[in-house]
Amino acid sequence: MSTRSGAPARVTAVDIRREGDAALGIDWADRSTSVIPLREIRLACGCAVCRDELTGAPLLDPATIPPDIRAYRIAPVGNYALTFDWSDSHSTGIYPWEMLRALADRIESESR
Ligand SMILES: [Zn+2]
């Protein structure tokens, strides 16, 4: 199943919303729903500050991210990604839907 835009339904978001202060809810076009803790999204940042551009190795020390990290702003980037203004003053990360879906699936499989 794929959508009119050509992206697979499992990585096409049809709705996003805040789930309280600490999580993001995403409804996907394949009719599944993900609830992702905001701190997990912050930790997964793929920008050049947080991740080595050549090796992909994480540069971000998880200990530096507060447990109560908040997103002041959540905004779409075109139709392929989200960007966040974080309460730790970081805002350079771009999170493609594929990345958010993979993160959500990993968290879900770890919590089973
Ligand atoms: Zn980053």
Q: What is the per-residue pLDDT across 67-81, written as a single tens digit (0 to 9) for each?
A: 999 999 999 999 999
Query: What are the DSSP calls for 74-93, one per residue?
Result: EEEETTTEEEEEETTS----
Give 18-60 pLDDT, tens digit per residue: 999 999 999 999 999 999 999 999 999 999 999 999 998 999 9
Distance 91 CA to ligand 1 centre (A): 7
How far apart are alpha carbons 64 and 92 in whole angstroms?
Answer: 17
Give pLDDT, residue 36: 98
Q: Does domain 9-110 have CATH number 3.30.2020.30?
A: yes
Structure-block tokens of residue 78: 């075109």
Distance 2 CA to ligand 1 centre (A): 30
Statement: the pTM of the whole predicted model exceeds 0.75? yes
Average pLDDT over residues 98-103: 97
Distance 94 CA to ligand 1 centre (A): 8
Give pLDDT, residue 7: 85
How many CA atoms does the CB half-sphere of 38 hold within 13 Å?
25
